[in-house]
Amino acid sequence: MPELVFFSGTMDCGKSTLALQITHNRSARGLVGVIFTRQDRAGEGKLSSRLGLVTDAVEVTDAMDVYTYLVGELSAGGKADYVIVDEAQFLAPEQIDQLARVVDDLHMDVFAFGITTDFRTKLFPGSQRLIELADRIEQLQVEALCWCGARATHNARTVGGQMVVEGEQVVVGDVNRPAEEIGYEVLCRRHHRRLMTSASAHAGSLSPDVLPVNNA
């Protein structure tokens, strides 16, 4: 039976690489997929990974009905055996409902890839709807690490290397941006709670994690 599968993780967990791998594996078997994305770091209509791999994709707009788009492609003689959706957290909840309809009515597997929470640890509306509707939720196995070496579970937005906790939910950036720009960093829960990025942790001579010692 076809499924709606949500592959979730932090920003630095290799989700786009896995999306490209699934595309490659199925293409090698003669299957044809439609790739959707939204606000990829490589630009409009692109699916890219941090390994430097890039492929063309269909950019999802605010007004797009994903189900209607696929029906139109099939009606025009196009072929589609499965659907890949990267940056699925940026889709509107109603577009996630449309993906579920693709599975149920068009009998295609839909593989959605995205992060679950924003820089404030709040669920993205698209991710929330995926959690509610997905047949299966897979936690990505590539383990992202905080600067301290612990498992990274939270996404942080940075400006000038300093973590910020206010602002619009969606601001496109990357974990590899220069420190002076708006960027993102993955952190463990402890350092996300303390607003402690790699830059701020190494700025001082004494780490806040170290208890002061008084010399008698």
Q: Which segments of the chain are extended strands (E)?
A: 4-9, 33-37, 46-48, 54-56, 58-59, 82-85, 109-115, 136-139, 154-159, 162-164, 182-187
87 is catalytic: yes
Instruction: Write the DSSP string, 170-198.
Output: -----TTS-TTSEEEEEE-HHHHHTT--H
How far are the Cα atoms of 115, 178, 180, 182 from residue 164, in angstroms, in the given order? 18, 16, 13, 10
Is residue 107 packed enough to be buried (19+ CB in 10 Å), middle (13-18) or exposed (0-12)?
A: exposed
CA 144 to chain centre: 13
Question: Hey, is 69 helix, strand or coil?
Answer: helix
What sign does the CA torsion over 36, 40, 45, 48 have?
A: negative
Element (H, E) at 22: helix 15-28
**Which candidate in 44, 73, 87, 166 is catalytic?**
87
Please give the positions annotated as active site. 87
